[in-house]
Structure 1
């Protein structure tokens, strides 16, 4: 077994600047930056109650087995949703049924996946925060654009599937599109859907034709839809090249500079996320409040962070514990399985410095293992009089493709018996073994992200562009291009995690009112927070963007 443990032990040190730093603005601490965690994610899948019950009765297998194509009603017109958003009067917009003579112009795979795509908007009756839709916006949201394009793709009868989409009104809901930009966006997404369909059917000559059309209309500097399609078409081109050795002519000709070569400091991008992105702030504040809710009167607190990244969340905890004068010591153990040891060491030094400014007795330890199977309880150096909490933010999903590692990790955590385990994961269904299934789900999921970044970074174009090119781009490529063990992006939703956690005796705990209050305060503090919604999903909190689920945060205890 190979493992490395490094510890920073600190005794209280007086500091002349401690008074000014005790009330430090969390989002002004530039030395701490938070990650969004796209690279180690995994998909979620459509998951019905009967299937869930069956899975609970038998041995849990590979997470790929958790994806099931549930028969759903036909893809519905989104007219009602659109009218609520843009405030248009009701009109007769019954879907146009395809003519029998053209009933099979689309291959069944992509058509069925679009039809089966469930309406994943969060339930209004579970909403715990106010979401204000910007009805005055000159353009529709990415979700509505994608739905309109999907509806057109499915119900179009006026042209052959061989034809490139043109701007017209072939489907009922198109009368709700108010601008030339929206028309072009719908056209662009429809061509992207057609391209993906042809790739799935291995009709590469036809797929390249649609790909070239997407390339002509998309841009990494355009509106959210243009940027979304830009990176999706790039991934499709790479997939075509991998499978055929051919690259679409227009794609190879376009003037494209790799954003990763010109991106500014990743740390500055992470800081921008922590400062301006409400979902990042909410998960951290709610998570730390949940930890505090379960510490009780503990005098010694031990936090096990399964992937600490910047560690900015622990500043919040330090500030809260400082107010509890009876807390004698805080110990944080960071578990790492990759090559980021130097970054984690920097995080430890920064946290140690902040603890000194608060005169807080603090120690920081790194446990670095080459393989998670090497992780054992004894490595954590647990003490009988300390209270342990486990924090797992966008971490467990990195092991979905290696269930034996995930099982081992859960057994080790169970042996530690923490007072609470905090889990933060993306709410998406990108783990289908079918390419077109992953494509449809990821298009909606990443579409919501591009929409949110456009709003939240309206005054910071550079950070938005760099975040999209550095995180979203690589994630999209991994979902659509990689196969087998190379595919790391495998988001699964909370229903799948609930079934998995049940195997180890984990019981879901309801978040406190204080946690929900923290989340609402974030939404009120940011102008873009009005498009971000909080919903209850049983006992957990789901955070959505304009009604589309993005992230969930839940708390668990071992029975």
Structure 2
């Protein structure tokens, strides 16, 4: 029954055009009660014996804690079913409990979505218990019910089933008609860019970070941004354009780290050309190839005394979280730069629970919301939506399931964690959190409103902007599920 009740939280994400499935609250007696014997009569022990804590054959004491058990029942206002009315109440409560459990089962039988969720969870549980034959049987049942072109729950179930099949090393492919034309890395890159264009997910991360950095640069003449995962440099076009519009145009140097030398070269050419076209002639791009065996050489950045330094950590720290030693070392190195501002943006999800099944459940909840949000970004029949979900979100799902939750996105180990975990790590790394300005909040609100993804700041369906920690953190949420969270930090004095 636990699997079915957990499934209701996911089904809420997928309701379209009607009332959502009501959550069934299983009522339980608020006070302890005695079991009735077969005839339905009350136990033979007297009320006085009960209050004195004497043992009765009708009481099921907790093993190893009998004294505490009986002590609890000597409390005042004790509920003792000694009258017929009280016995009837107990019988009624028991019958209601059975009826509501049956109702949950019937709801699951009627709801294809709940059936898919139950199949996924049972399959994941079988894999966790090393029951390969049972897992393969459940996968075959899933194969016939999921579709990458169906509704959002069918699509996310399809990708999780495919991920489970890959983890199980099943010889039977989930989608035999899937044709991959082109280089896989190129397909993933194109899908990432397409997702950036159609969804506010990455746009929120970049816009919020850029606004905080621009405010930290106000009145400064020499600016230096250290981006530890620059990728294609999409984030910096809006910042370059904003700086070029100032009366006294500052100089800008971007130090970008990456793992592919060809991508770094292309990014540098693209950003330099764009900066010059905007009138930001004092622009420099310095690429740095990250060595997985040696890490990053902070000394090679050559920070100048008259530069104002900003460190950009957008979706980067999760790539280090699987190694606490490496993460702590990197944070200490960043702190040694004495930057004026450090921007951290991370997924609001957790892949750190100790069991595979709990990690699977967290990933399923998270990507269920993302897939549901895609229905608001692109039509169901869109080929672009299929590419995004297959080569970007689908690959992320595989990475979250593979290797017991520690994925390898583009060769990196990723571990998503909740905000409280990142907050503690940053504070231990020598940083203090600062709040977002009202301008940053306004910019984030305008992003959602301009894309017509949000009905209002306070509520409504679709994407929402949420504030936490007295406004010191901003979060993009889909309905009530937080997806990504941004925060700003400075070095402690």
TM over 0.5: yes
CA distance in 1, matches of 2:164, 2:388: 20
Q: Distance in 1 between matches of 2:263 and 2:349?
A: 29
Determine if the alignment matches structure 1 residue 199 to structure 2 residue 130.
Answer: no
In structure 2, distance between residues paired with 1:90 and 1:279:
27
- Aligned mates of 2:487, 2:216 — CA distance in 1: 13
Aligned to 2:156: 228
1:375 aligns with 2:296: yes
* 8 A Cα contact 2:315 2:346, kept in partner: yes
- 2:216 corresponding residue in structure 1: 294
Q: CA deviation at 1:428?
A: 0.3
Give the distance between the partners of 2:112 and 2:487, measured in 1 at CA: 40
Deviation string 1:503-547 (CA, Å, 9 cap, x unpaired) is 122011101111111111111111334410111121111111111
Unmatched tracts of structure 1, length 5 or more: 1-73, 101-154, 159-168
Per-residue Cα deviation, 1:230-259 (whole angstroms, up to 9, x for no partner): 121122223333xxxx64xxx448524254
Does 1:537 find its partner at 2:468?
yes
Change in Cα spacing, 1:526 to 1:374, as seen in structure 2 (3 Å) is: closer
- CA 396–252 in structure 1, closer or farther in 2 if over 3 Å, else same: closer
Q: What is the distance in 2 between the residues matched to 1:421 and 1:496?
A: 17
Are positions 1:504 and 2:424 aligned together? no
Task: Find 1:435's aligned residue among 350, 353, 356.
Answer: 356
* Residue 334 (structure 1) aligns with: 256
1:364 to 264, 269, 285: 285
1:124-135 maps to which residues of 2 (within 5 A)? none
Q: Is the 8 A contact 1:475 1:489 kept in 2?
A: no
**1:372–1:381: structure 2 CA closer, same or farther, 3 Å change rule?**
farther
Give 2:167's aligned residue: 239
Distance 1:434 1:287, change over 3 A: same
Residues 149-164 of structure 1: pairs in structure 2 closer than 5 A: none
Selected match of 1:410 from 319, 331, 340: 331
Aligned length: 405
- Distance in 1 (alpha carbons) for counterparts of 2:175 and 2:12: 37
- Contact persistence 2:10–2:368 (CA under 8 A): no
| 2:349 is the alignment partner of 1:398 | no
- Comparing 261-270 with 364-373, greater Cα deviation is found at 261-270
User: 1:15-414 maps to which residues of 2 (within 5 A)?
Assistant: 93-95=24-26, 170-171=104-105, 174=107, 183-241=111-169, 247=171, 251-252=172-173, 255-259=176-180, 265-336=187-258, 338=259, 340-360=260-280, 361-371=282-292, 373-414=294-335
C-alpha contact 2:194 2:388 (8 A) present in aligned 1: no
> Matches of residues 413-492 of structure 1 in structure 2 within 5 Å?
413-458=334-379, 461-483=382-404, 488-492=413-417
Asked if structure 1 preserves the Cα contact closer than 8 Å seen for 2:159 and 2:397, the reply is: yes
What does residue 547 of structure 1 align with? 480
Unaligned regions of 5+ residues in structure 2, if any? Answer: 29-34, 36-98, 456-461
- Using the size of structure 2 for normalisation, the TM-score is 0.74
d(CA) in 2 for partners of 1:270 and 1:236?
23
Contact 2:7 2:114 in 1 (8 A): no
Mean alpha-carbon deviation: is it higher for 258-267 or for 477-486?
258-267
- Hey, what's the Cα distance between the residues in 1 that align with 2:382 and 2:8? 34
Alignment of 1:507-526 (within 5 A): 507-526=432-451
How many angstroms apart in 2 are the aligned matches of 1:454 and 1:353? 36
Provide the rounded CA distance (Å) in 1 between the counterparts of 2:7 and 2:377: 30
Matching residue of 1:33: none
Q: Is the 8 A contact 1:303 1:391 kept in 2?
A: yes
Q: Deviations over 1:38-75 (max 9, x none)?
A: xxxxxxxxxxxxxxxxxxxxxxxxxxxxxxxxxxxx96
Distance 1:267 1:399, change over 3 A: closer
How far apart are the structure 1 equivalents of 2:365 and 2:433? 28
How far apart, CA to CA, are the structure 2 residues paired with 1:379 and 1:89? 56
Residues 137-196 of structure 1: per-residue CA shift (max 9 Å, x gap): xxxxxxxxxxxxxxxxxx9966xxxxxxxxxx5448x39x9xx8xx22222222112222
Structure 2 residue corresponding to 1:494, chosen from 419, 440, 462: 419
In 2, Cα distance between equivalents of 1:198 and 1:449: 26
Does the residue aligned with 2:483 lie in a helix, a strand or coil?
A: strand
Deviation at 1:402, TM superposition (A): 2.0
> If you compute each CA radius of gyration, which structure gives the higher value, 1 or 2?
2
Between the aligned partners of 1:92 and 1:467, the Cα distance in structure 2 is 32
TM-score normalised by the chain length of structure 1: 0.66
Task: Select between 456-465 and 258-267 the one with higher mean Cα deviation.
Answer: 258-267
Q: Post-superposition shift, 1:282? A: 1.5
CA distance in 1, matches of 2:250, 2:20: 63
Q: Do the aligned partners of residues 384 and 288 (structure 1) sit closer, same or farther apart at CA in structure 2, a change above 3 Å counting? A: same
